[in-house]
Amino acid sequence: MAQHPLEKFRYCPLCGSERFLVNNVKSKRCETCGFVYYFNPSSSTVAVIVNEKDELLVVRRAKEPAKGTLDLPGGFCDCYETGEEGVMREVKEETGLCVDGIRFLFSIPNIYPYGGLDIHTIDLFFLCNTNSTKNAVAADDAAEIMWIPWKEVRPEDFGLRSISQGVERLLQMHAAGWATVR
């Protein structure tokens, strides 16, 4: 039987009561103060960056989960940040590149294991233009960056389920003749 997503949350975040019980599949309710806490996914961004040679920018993960596997630049959105702002910040942090054009592509739900918790996310995939693809450098959560021709991109090399699924979808879109933001 699957564990309730709020199983590890024992106390009401409003009043601190231990009478914080399962209300339904996506919430807990405090029997002391009546507060109902709904479990919702976190927003996460994924950058799809293609250079002038029609190669995909890929990073190697520097940290768990899936350390050492391939990934696309991106990460969690901060509070008060739009998805577009989040993907721009993450690209800058992980590659040093500045995004100057963005187009939303699609989203995929995911479960991201972090610190002993399963963080439910909505991964937002964006096609991103950058000011220059020549100055990319691995930093922050990226141990390495590389440009891979589309014909050599293999979804199974990407360690996170949603990224692997997204790469599969991107390959289908590329084969169908999609256009970059340029």
Mean of the per-residue pLDDT values of the chain: 92
Q: What is the rounded radius of gyration, in angstroms, for the C-alpha atoms of the chain?
A: 19
Q: Which residue has the higher pLDDT, 102 or 133?
A: 102
156 touches 105 (CB < 8 A): no
Q: What is the structure's pLDDT at 2?
A: 63
Q: What is the DSSP letter of 50?
A: B
Dist. CA 103–CA 15, nearest whole Å? 42
Start-end ranges of CATH 3.90.79.10 in the chain?
42-175
Q: What is the pLDDT of residues 59-90, one digit of tens each?
A: 999 999 999 999 999 999 999 999 999 999 99
Burial (CB count <10 Å: 0-12, 13-18, 19+), residue 59: buried
Q: What angle do CA 50, 126, 102 make, to 5 degrees?
A: 80
Segment 125-147 shows an average pLDDT of 90
Fold classified for 42-175: Nucleoside Triphosphate Pyrophosphohydrolase (3.90.79)
- Annotated catalytic residue: which of 144, 152, 156, 168? 144
17 touches 31 (CB < 8 A): yes
64 is catalytic: no
Among residues of the chain, what percentage have pLDDT more than 90?
Answer: 76
Q: What is the pLDDT of residues 83-95, one digit of tens each?
A: 999 999 999 999 9
- End-to-end alpha-carbon separation of the chain, Å? 48
